[in-house]
A = this chain, B = another copy of it.
Amino acid sequence: MIKVALVGTGNVSEHLKRAISKTSEIEVVQVLNSRNEDLSKSLKKIGRQLPDIYIIAVSDDAIPSVSQHFSHTEKLVVHTSGSVPMDALPKQMRKGVIYPLQTLSKAEKVNFKDVPLCIEASQEDDLELLRKLGQAISDQVFEISSEKRKYLHLAAVFVNNFTNHLYSIGAEICKEQQLPFTMLHPLIKETARKIKFLSPEDAQTGPARRNDTGTMQRHMELLNNEKDKTLYRLLSDSIKDSYGKKL
């Protein structure tokens, strides 16, 4: 049995707790509030049920200060961030990372088995421990260095945060025209589904892909703010560049 203490009570902590509760090999022995004063009290009381791993699931900014509380433990301490390197944890500690590459919110159930987990550790046996933990809750466990992980996080910003912003612009256009945004739902779903069997490069369609300057010009005229016009032009240029068609 691997004993885990979760530090932090946010989305990632909550999802890890739920996923772990479904396994028989791992147990959450404690969930610690990450506020510094509460944490130092809790750690004094933690006593008997000492965990094998502390998982610090807090915001990126809070990792350095929260992890300081663990600088004297002999146990493995990991964080869960995509963009923070492992070495942001205090020196001379057994340390690692377990980063779930998924957008997680408390209200939403996800099938954690499908969530890719990126693991990293400073020692080989700790990597094994994380692999055991990871494989108990997910079918997708990858050993990823801090260096590579930051690129994954960057790619995730493009396909998740930026994509969602394009959905927002689509929703805004619909709203202004009193059209239901739900009309675009099947298209959004299919666009995402396509990548399973077609590379995004091969799946690319649209006015910019065929260098249809007439349609692009008319679209620019329909947009009623400079911000969206600039985005439209830049994204279209970027598509044209990718396919070797410069205006």
Contact = CB atoms under 8 A, between A and B. Distances in A.
Interface string A100-120: 011100001010001110000
A232 B227 CA distance: 14
Contact of A170 (B156, B193, B207, B235): B156
Contact of A184 (B156, B167, B187, B190): B156
A12 B168 CA distance: 27
Copies in the complex: 2
A212 B59 CA distance: 11
Contacts of A46: none
A238 to B, nearest CB: 5
A56 to B, nearest CB: 18
A185 B179 contact: no
B187 A189 contact: no
Interface string A158-187: 111111111111110110110101011111
A83 interface: yes
Interface stretch (A25-33, A90-98, A217-225): A217-225
Contacts of A201: 168, 171
Interface string A204-235: 11111100100100110011000110111011
Contacts of A177: 148, 151-152
A181 B204 CA distance: 16
A29 to B, nearest CB: 29
Interface string A66-106: 00000000000000000100000000000000000111000
B231 A116 contact: no
A163 B163 contact: yes
A196 interface: yes
A247 interface: no
A157 B166 CA distance: 9
Interface in A113-171: 114-116, 140, 142, 144, 148, 150-152, 154-171
Given A101-B186, A150-B218, A165-B200, 7 more contacts: A155-B173, A158-B232, A160-B187, A163-B166, A163-B188, A165-B242, A189-B192
23 contacts: A60-B215, A103-B205, A144-B179, A148-B177, A148-B179, A151-B179, A151-B222, A155-B171, A155-B173, A157-B206, A158-B170, A161-B205, A161-B239, A162-B166, A162-B235, A164-B194, A164-B205, A168-B201, A171-B200, A181-B195, A227-B241, A228-B238, A230-B234
